[in-house]
Chains A and B, each alone.
Chain A
């Protein structure tokens, strides 16, 4: 909320500059023009926003489930963890610009390549957060549970998993800021609809106002998802309120 006055100031300055500098709106559209054009095109924009939301959410859900399952496996199988983590680090070094067209080439223009790309980008931060979270468990708590006769599985469920929750939500928040961008990028690389396609078309038609309208929607999406993770965290971790 503190960011609001700053945001308003930037938009105002932009509006003034666009109007007074004499730069044509085909190069630098004023915020007011973007808003008006976005409203006029609202149906097309909405039609293209829905597929992006779908790809983001499905890819993100897929990636979260996968990261969780794998983190559990790696917590119980230490040698596997040492063997696999470097592989996942490598997956993070792949440039999206190069990977996105390839994934589209392999999996076509449908939903699958988008889900895969979103997962590729968001998977590792979450996996790492979970693993670090498990390891953050207080040794005293583990010693206590062992003294009570708890099995390794019980120690995991009663201590390691809840200890990892704050870390997990941090990872979730970092990941989610990449997710929307990754989905748009995947569409840009090849799709029939979506914000990425909308941006591509607007650019080809020399409509920077519409490009920026789509950018605004993408930011709004990310912010919404970000706020959503906070809400979920409040419900899941009532003790941390």
Chain B
């Protein structure tokens, strides 16, 4: 496992008078895949909003030992957030375009990657012409082509049916093993977290703080049960 990359310490956020994050601390090492599990409304998406700079918080965020400069994160929002008015290929290049790279160059740069994401031949399709799984892969591709230090994935498979979801998880695991992306994943699905991650943080209900941290090793079935119990017991 690589060196410490993201170091979040004592993050607290209050929204509309309500505490949403409560001295939340977590770490992600380079090349590591870390999942965050927590009840609905706990504050998981809020954590991502703080990390991407959309929301202010108290506490300390360090990237490679220093306060983050520029935007070190590529963010995939909770729904796929594909733009219906852009063809699939133009959705995927969005991040590069915002960075000021010309459309032609952005297209050339990502062209070899479509096959890997199972999207080859669909470049000119509109998002509504893609299946749910394809949309998620397009959104994921849009995230990774930004070539940032770290991926923030907010329930990437939340909207998919169980079968498609399982397929996507397997696919993502393969991709991840090939690329060694560093990623922080939010999910509701214990099995998904166990399948994909090196480590798992279980959060409390709002205001979110870390209840427990699990390393994914040994008997995975037993680990799943343990995590479920932690989630169900909550603060009790």
Contact = CB atoms under 8 A, between A and B. Distances in A.
A159 B99 contact: no
B81 A148 contact: no
Contacts of B146: 148
B115 to A, nearest CB: 24
Interface stretch (A86-94, A136-144, A171-179, A206-214): A136-144
A180 B75 CA distance: 49
B85 A148 contact: no
B190 to A, nearest CB: 25
A140 B98 contact: no
A1 to B, nearest CB: 26
Nearest to A154: B98
Interface residues of B, number: 27
B113 interface: no
B165 interface: no
B222 to A, nearest CB: 36
Interface centre among A140, A150, A159, A165 (most CB of B within 10 A): A140
Contacts of A47: none
Interface residues of A, number: 19
Contacts of A162: 83, 85
Interface string A139-183: 011011111111000100011001001000000000000000000
Contacts of B127: 239
Given A147-B71, A148-B71, A239-B128, A165 B85 contact: yes
B81 A149 contact: no
A140 B49 CA distance: 11
A24 B85 CA distance: 58
**Chain B interface, DSSP helix/strand/loop, else mixed:** loop
Nearest to B83: A141
A237 interface: yes
Interface string B63-101: 000000011011101110101111100000011011100
Contacts of A145: 94, 98
B126 interface: yes
Contact of A146 (B54, B74, B78): B54
30 contacts: A138-B81, A140-B77, A140-B78, A140-B81, A141-B77, A141-B83, A143-B54, A143-B75, A143-B81, A144-B75, A145-B98, A147-B52, A147-B53, A147-B54, A147-B74, A148-B75, A148-B98, A149-B70, A149-B71, A149-B98, A154-B98, A158-B83, A158-B98, A159-B83, A162-B85, A237-B85, A239-B85, A239-B87, A239-B128, A240-B84
Given A162-B83, A165-B85, A147 B75 contact: yes
A149 B94 CA distance: 11
Interface in B212-230: none
A134 to B, nearest CB: 14
A238 to B, nearest CB: 8
A147 B215 CA distance: 29
Contacts of B73: 147
A83 to B, nearest CB: 26
